[in-house]
A = this chain, B = another copy of it.
Amino acid sequence: MKPARSIRVPGFRGAGSSCGIKKLAKPDLALVVSDLPCVSDVVFTRNKVFAAPVAWGKALRGRAALRGVIVNSGNANACTGAEGLSAVRKTSVAACAALGLRSGSLLVSSTGVIGVPLPVEKIVKALPALCASLSEDGVARAGDAILTTDAYPKRGVRKVRVRGGQVTLGGIAKGAGMISPNMGTMLAYVFTDAALRPADLRKAFREAVDLSFNRIVVDGDTSTNDTAAVFANGACGLPPLSGKDLAAFAEALRSLLLDLALMIVRDGEGATRVVRMMVTRAANGRDAEKAARAVGTSLLVKTAVFGADPNWGRIVAAIGRAGVRLDPERVELTLAGEKVLRRGMKIDRAAERRAAPKIRKEAYGIEADLGLGKGSHHVYFSDLNHDYVRINAGYRS
């Protein structure tokens, strides 16, 4: 799950630079743009308090064909009122003009501190040099410039054989602190030279987002700025994908987004482990999801995961308070493949001992079988440790 080094996608050029929003000349301005018109899709945060660029993007949706994205990091441009919207407009107008594109051709995103006016003049001033440095190799540099508290960049590439040739998907993402539902911002952008019909791209993208980013972010518990987008420019020269080729593309997109999502969980502002929490045989799917998320967001479970403590009681207690149908006597719990709790609250001490070394690994699974119905759901979560506190206590200061 190491980030890909290069993410060249034919017909896309990227660039990243430091425009001075962040201190110490860290990269804080990213641009990726397609040489050709694109088919695209965007999903935004469900938080009712959404940032100015999200408001702008929602208003823009469907009104202009997007060709790429411009992102600043270091400032979320959230809770910034009319001034904030004006800053998005200025960014968009200046960037589209600098690229010779029709106004509104770029998605605008921001991530960083909330409630501080965005110094848009710094962005505008940096645009000429940024545009001049655009290159196919620069998409990875754009990926570096969207980071905030991330410990490392998140990038991925997939190549898919299709009839008549091959298509490429390249993705960059940003996010850490996904160890809690009230996380920092998650951003993800995928670029592909495949040709796709808008409805096909949308379907594949929404499904992939549901199985990746939505498995690490609690519904409705997203940040003010979360945004994920896909751009398909058809530069491969092949006709729109269909049938088996479309299915292969969709599978590659799912795999790419899941990789990016797991890189985010794994980063998790100091996280040391990633756990896949699977709930099976819940009364229904909604209950399964609630139970899985209750475990994944429990501070007591997260700290136990950090301490590699086979404290399955905390897992059962978290499900008990999840507000789902539950008969504790029916619950079975499997920790890293070892069934430590059997029906009737029977504890298997030998299994507990066998699980102990396995939960010291970087990644493992927990399964809770509620023994009630057919609902199942899984989420990925990380542990909670000292670094999380250090990073978030001093974030603004």
Residues of A participating in the B interface, judged by any CB pair closer than 8 Å? 46-50, 76, 78-82, 84, 113-115, 177, 179-184, 220-224, 294, 298-301, 303-304, 306-307, 309, 311-314, 316-321, 323, 326, 328-329, 341, 344-347, 384-386, 388-390, 392-397
- Cβ–Cβ contact B114 & A317, under 8 A: yes
Residues of B contacting A84 in the complex (Cβ-Cβ under 8 angstroms): 345
Can you list 15 contacts pairing A with B, beta carbon distance less than 8 Å? A47-B317, A47-B320, A48-B321, A49-B321, A79-B313, A79-B316, A81-B344, A81-B345, A182-B300, A182-B301, A182-B317, A182-B318, A309-B396, A385-B393, A386-B386
Residues of B contacting A79 in the complex (Cβ-Cβ under 8 angstroms): 313, 316-317, 328, 341, 345, 347
A304 to B82, CA, bound (A): 26
Shortest Cβ gap from A232 to chain B (Å): 31
A180 to B297, CA, bound (A): 10
Shortest Cβ gap from A102 to chain B (Å): 30
- Cβ–Cβ contact B326 & A182, under 8 A: no
Residues of B contacting A341 in the complex (Cβ-Cβ under 8 angstroms): 79, 115
A180 to B303, CA, bound (A): 12
- Given contact pairs A49-B328, A79-B341, a sample of 6 additional A-B residue pairs in the complex whose CB atoms are under 8 Å apart: A79-B328, A81-B329, A113-B311, A182-B298, A304-B392, A388-B389
Among A113, A221, A345, max chain B CB count under 10 A is at A345
Among A49, A76, A304, A312, max chain B CB count under 10 A is at A49
Residues of B contacting A301 in the complex (Cβ-Cβ under 8 angstroms): 182
Residues of B contacting A306 in the complex (Cβ-Cβ under 8 angstroms): 389, 393
Residues of B contacting A220 in the complex (Cβ-Cβ under 8 angstroms): 321, 323
- Cβ–Cβ contact B321 & A182, under 8 A: yes
- Cβ–Cβ contact A48 & B326, under 8 A: yes
Chain B, Cβ-Cβ closest to A345: B81
Given that A49-B328, A317-B114 are contacting pairs, would A300 and B345 also be in contact in the complex, using a CB cutoff of 8 Å? no
Q: Which of B113, B294, B303 lies in contact with A389, CB distance below 8 A?
A: B303
Shortest Cβ gap from A269 to chain B (Å): 10
- Cβ–Cβ contact B393 & A389, under 8 A: no
Shortest Cβ gap from A35 to chain B (Å): 37
- Cβ–Cβ contact B113 & A313, under 8 A: yes
Residues of B contacting A303 in the complex (Cβ-Cβ under 8 angstroms): 388-389, 392-393, 395
Residues of B contacting A113 in the complex (Cβ-Cβ under 8 angstroms): 311, 313
- Cβ–Cβ contact B395 & A311, under 8 A: yes
A319 to B114, CA, bound (A): 14
A312 to B386, CA, bound (A): 23
Which are the 9 A-B pairs with shortest beta-carbon distances? Answer: A114-B313, A49-B320, A307-B393, A81-B345, A303-B392, A115-B313, A180-B299, A47-B320, A182-B298
